[in-house]
Structure 1
């Protein structure tokens, strides 16, 4: 089964999905945040649509490895997603964290090297960060 990755931010959630063989990650969309419950519901819809058995959430630690304010928000999102999935009969789906330090910086570098314009980069950077998070996870399997 496929894996889905999330780059959870304050305004958007970047989403990537693996191929069935768990070799590559592809960015599929960026979710505009509207509220933690609705955002978790949208993620659950994507899990079902893409037939995923694992959710990989990027964990934004500080460079020294300690938690940041954003780390706490990601923990809160994971808890909400977990609770909604359990109450919806999706409790069998595994949720794991993947260190995402510097993924946004790397994603921007990839987009710049790909000659993506600045205004377009803002729209796809979270999706690209999710790709890097998922690819990093897949490489450890």
Structure 2
């Protein structure tokens, strides 16, 4: 069974998927969506879930450094409930503090242009969310 990792933002959702053994995470795509319409990414996500035989989702839960959950965290929680209900797979919310910062650092070290970084940052953050989950689970 593969696991999908999601980095849910207000305009895009970064998507990563694990290998069959649950050892490594690979970046897949970035879905453009409208946060005001929670159903707007359902078709693309359904296609990914079916194509990759996904049995579980890990969604990044942004927390403040003191551990409290703010507006973005609440939005991720709402989306997690939606994914569980609509796609009928279990969802784990995973602390994603600093994953976007870490992803940005990796891309900067790779000397990637700002324009290219903007296109892949969400997918890279999804990889980091999923990989930290996989590392902890193994």
Please state which band the TM-score falls in when normalised by the shorter chain.
over 0.9
1:65 equivalent in structure 2 = 67
Q: Give the unaligned 5+ runs of structure 2.
A: none
Asked whether the 8 Å contact 2:7–2:122 carries over to 1, the reply is yes
- Write the mapping of 1:1-141 to structure 2, written as runs, cut at 5 A: 1-34=1-34, 35-85=37-87, 91=88, 93-141=89-137
- The Cα RMSD (Å) is 1.1
1:9-41 deviation line (CA, Å, top 9, x unaligned): 001000000111211111000001133112133
Q: Name the CA distance, whole Å, in 2 between partners of 1:36 and 1:49.
A: 22
Whether the aligned pair in 2 keeps the contact of 1:2 and 1:19 (CA below 8 Å) is yes
How many residues matched?
135
Q: Any gaps of 5 or more consecutive residues in structure 1?
A: 86-90
Q: Which runs of 4+ in 1 moved over 4 A?
A: none
